[in-house]
Amino acid sequence: MISTDVKEWGITKKGEQVYCYTLKNEFLEVNILNYGGVIQKIMMPDKNGKFENIVLGFDDIKGYEERSPHFGAIVGRTAGRIKKGELYINGTLYQLETNNCGNNLHGYPEFYGQKIWNCEILEEEERAVLILKRTSPHLEAGYPGKIDFTVKYILDKNSLILEYEGIPDRDTYMSLTNHTYFNLSGDYKKDIGNQKITLACDEYLEVDEETLPVKISKVDNSIFDLRKGRTFNDVFSSDEEQVKIVNGGIDHPFVLSHKENLDAVCIDEESGRILEMKTDQPAVVIYTGNWLDEVGVISGNVVCRNHFGFCLETQDYPDVLKFIPEKSKIYNENKKYTQKTAFIFKSFVK
């Protein structure tokens, strides 16, 4: 049975009202904020039927404004890093502001995860839908084009489906994602080390000290070969240079093969929780929270630490216009941007 709710959740430093929208059925309960489209909480059962939260977040808006490493947020206009903030569209340079080692990361300073979105909630026969909208003006953060964005969060049985649409008024580029950190142990009982990830992927992108892509490599004979599954601890304990360069973990784009029915499967055997992922995007950035010890206290008065969550950031190839121009996409009034990712939540039957 589907149910929805909305309640006041706080006031931003700018005086904006923050609301929390709840989508709920017998499988899942999902809390989403109009602030940044943040997925603040996902409650799902373990193998014994006990519902617990499986995403990292805060209990108040102050945490999201002051200390959040993009917890649960919509990321845009562009997910990932753009080298030197240089965005070329049809030969014209648009200089973006830089916020990360001289590069532009996640579209700052106009990061979509810090914007108030207009929201509408719908109840359908077997689905609950939260529709979020905002218009990004021409040259916001330096990006060309006015874009009307719509993001939908759809609760359908045991799936949470994310659908993105961007309609620009001129030639431009965009690549959105969601930055939820998952921890399948439930209520942060443990870090993600013993959780296992399987990925339908034959290639990944090596990165440099600034986490910029430098090379597309085969996963064969590397710790990043996740086709048969590995625990995150297997990666954390590796002495491979690509693990060390991102502070002991994963912060890399993986090229999805789309050969399998699912693109990714994550399992926590102790709790019995399973997270499956399917996307229409060419890549996913897996990030294992390698700097989370800087965050401090999160929901439930728990002190966050490194490797406390993992992200599956489905998106276009990073810095694609410069790094892989032959795969680049330009959007305009005749070619809108779309993206769809589904997360499916299951648990072992006891």
Give the active site residues. Answer: 179, 313
Strand ordering across the sheet containing 127-136? 118-123, 127-136, 147-156, 159-168, 337-347, 273-279, 264-268, 196-199, 230-231
- Is 315 in contact with 281 (CB distance < 8 Å)? yes
What kind and span of H or E run contains 89?
strand 86-89
With residues binned 3-state (H G I as helix, E B as strand, rest as coil), the percentages for the chain, rounded to 5, are 10, 45, 45
What is d(CA 261, CA 90) in angstroms, rounded to the nearest whole number?
A: 36
What kind and span of H or E run contains 74?
strand 74-75
- Is 254 in contact with 318 (CB distance < 8 Å)? no
